[in-house]
Structure 1
Amino acid sequence: MNPKITLIGPGAMGEAIIVGLLSKQITLPEFIFASGPIVERGEELKAKYGIVPLTDNVQAVQQADLVIMAVKPQILKKVMRGLKGHIPAQALVLSIVAGASIQTLSEGLAHTAIVRAMPNTPAQIGEGITVWTASPSVTPEQMELARQVLTALGAEIYEEEESHLDMATALSGTGPAYVFLFMEALIDAGVHMGFARKTAEQLVTQTILGSVLYYKKIGIHPAQLRNQVTSPGGTSAEALYYLEKAGFRTALSRAIWAAYERSLELGKGLNSKPPESKGEG
């Protein structure tokens, strides 16, 4: 029904959301309001997509059915102070701010209908995956609207437990960085053997893409697929032996756990309350 959607923070992920909203025809361009401090950025988005740019957050949310918080974690508290008490009672707030809990958002905005989501980088081309959860006061209709928006970014998984979003931050949110590092290492190895870098990039990119698509189509456990391409005494067996000997699996597991612990640490800082000032006397 063409909901009015306000985006607070029109950065790269914010633009990806705009593209998804329009490509999935969730609403019309004139019902998308993008609010940010840089006038030129707003005008750029208006020229590209026909949305309504604003620099006043309070003005931007006045008629909103959905308010999407897409600001950087470092400025979230400042933005919430400006918006507190101004979001319409019937509106849904959807936050993609990493580490910001539902409680922090609810208290900071004086609003109860909150969806917290953790998308990842491929969402910028509609191929991401988002883990999300909702506060108890979110209505079924609002849940469906949130699902439509997140589906516009790729796949989505709803979780009852909010703690699972910190896990998702370490696994899927940070996951593209692991994949890119793996790609980089494979490409460099190809260049070391003598391939031109462009050729090595093509070989690695298509190998990874094809492997993932093959796995999705066949639908069996990755260990079985690995066994299928590992002949006794062959090249794959030799390569895998060195990877295991070097602790590849353990290093990756430890890296993900470290990212999870860091996510918890950042969340504590973001969600902590300032100490109460004590009066004199």
Structure 2
Amino acid sequence: MIRDLRIAVIGAGIMGEAMISGMLRHELVPPEQIMATELRADRRDEIAARYGVQVTDDNVAAVHWGQVAVFAVKPQTLPKLLPELRGTLNDGELVISIVAGAPIRHFAELLQHPQIVRSMPNTPAQIGEGMTVWTAADAVTEEQRGWARTILESFGQEQYVDDENYLDMATALSGTGPAYFFLLMEAMVDAGVHLGFPRYMAQKLVLETMQGSVLYAQKSGKHLAELKNGVTSPGGTTAAALYELERGGLRTVLTDAIWAAYRRSAELGKGK
């Protein structure tokens, strides 16, 4: 579907590299059909050597060359970057943004280009296990939506939504989500060490427990509360642990954290 497209990846950081790696791993396009931009010469050399793609420090040239321009940059770079690229996109070219908090209208106004896809992936995309929520401007054609879906599927699962408001929600839930799990796992490993386990052993127990629990939840089709209750015997160890978690306000703190991430995403969209 996209084999002959020229794809410019603006920003060859962690997520930009994850997208390049995913597209090449799935053989969506050959390496010469990808051009990555990066200001640091050592990073350009690294990306070129690792993937065989074209590299440059010239964003204007890359966007002008590409038929799809993927923006994988920090939100604070957009006010300077986008006006420099105004007029470089032709009708029929697609912009895909993975920039947190940046609404479609921001790209459309500053680029003076209407065909914009906004998406929010997460860092497990680096190993092909990402979760990406995305939406498209009205001007994006069905063919272009197919391009976007194919590219986003190359590094994990994708979920299309027809309301852009869901993107700020996704930023708080799945985009930021890996950090919540990493913090939880780190705390559990530290607790295991406190109990007396060697750290390597505690980490193995926690990681395998987390992975197994996720797979079990996916395959069982049961409500999460039902799965939790299945582990909880009356008066048992799990009941004692859950009591302390509830007493400590785990649900409230986690909910407050997700709302804080959502509010920050909305603030970024307003240029704050």
Q: CA RMSD in A?
A: 1.0
Map 1:215-234 to 2 at 5 A.
215-234=217-236
| TM-score, normalised relative to structure 2 | 0.97
SS of aligned partner of 2:270: helix
Query: How far, CA to CA, are the matches of 2:105 and 2:76 in structure 1?
Result: 17
Matched, 1:92 2:94: yes
State which of 255, 258, 261 in structure 2 corresponds to 1:253. 255
SS of aligned partner of 1:141: helix
Amino acid at match of 1:252: L
* Residue of structure 2 in register with 1:134 after alignment: 136
Q: Percent identity?
A: 55
Over residues 18-65 of structure 1, what are the superposed CA-to-partner deviations in whole Å (9 max), with x where a residue is unaligned? 001101111110010111222221121111111001111121122311
Query: How far, CA to CA, are the matches of 1:196 and 1:13 in structure 2?
Result: 33
Map 1:76-155 to 2 at 5 A.
76-155=78-157
Query: How far, CA to CA, are the matches of 1:55 and 1:243 in structure 2?
Result: 50
Query: How far, CA to CA, are the matches of 1:38 and 1:235 in structure 2?
Result: 53
Report which of the two structures shows the higher radius of gyration computed on alpha carbons: 1
SS of aligned partner of 2:157: strand
Instruction: Please say if residues 230 and 236 of structure 1, whose CA atoms lie closer than 8 Å, have aligned partners that are also in contact.
Output: yes
Over residues 182-240 of structure 1, what are the superposed CA-to-partner deviations in whole Å (9 max), with x where a residue is unaligned? 00110111011111111110100000000101111111111111111111111011111
Gaps of 5+ in 1: 271-281
SS of aligned partner of 1:269: coil
SS of aligned partner of 1:155: strand
Query: How far, CA to CA, are the matches of 2:164 and 2:28 in structure 1?
Result: 26
Instruction: Please say if residues 61 and 88 of structure 1, whose CA atoms lie closer than 8 Å, have aligned partners that are also in contact.
Output: no
SS of aligned partner of 2:159: strand
* Residue of structure 2 in register with 1:186 after alignment: 188
Map 1:21-36 to 2 at 5 A.
21-36=23-38
Query: How far apart are 1:2 and its partner, in Å?
Result: 2.4
Instruction: Please say if residues 11 and 72 of structure 2, whose CA atoms lie closer than 8 Å, have aligned partners that are also in contact.
Output: yes
Instruction: Please say if residues 66 and 92 of structure 1, whose CA atoms lie closer than 8 Å, have aligned partners that are also in contact.
Output: yes
| 4+ aligned runs moved over 2 Å, structure 1 | none
**Which shows bigger deviation, 243-252 or 144-153?**
243-252
Query: How far apart are 1:116 and its partner, in Å?
Result: 0.3
* Residue of structure 1 in register with 2:16 after alignment: 14
* Residue of structure 2 in register with 1:50 after alignment: 52
Query: How far apart are 1:146 and its partner, in Å?
Result: 0.2
Amino acid at match of 2:138: P
SS of aligned partner of 1:185: helix
Gaps of 5+ in 2: none
* Residue of structure 2 in register with 1:239 after alignment: 241
Matched, 1:38 2:40: yes
Amino acid at match of 1:90: G
Instruction: Please say if residues 63 and 88 of structure 1, whose CA atoms lie closer than 8 Å, have aligned partners that are also in contact.
Output: no
Instruction: Please say if residues 10 and 70 of structure 2, whose CA atoms lie closer than 8 Å, have aligned partners that are also in contact.
Output: yes
| TM-score, normalised relative to structure 1 | 0.94
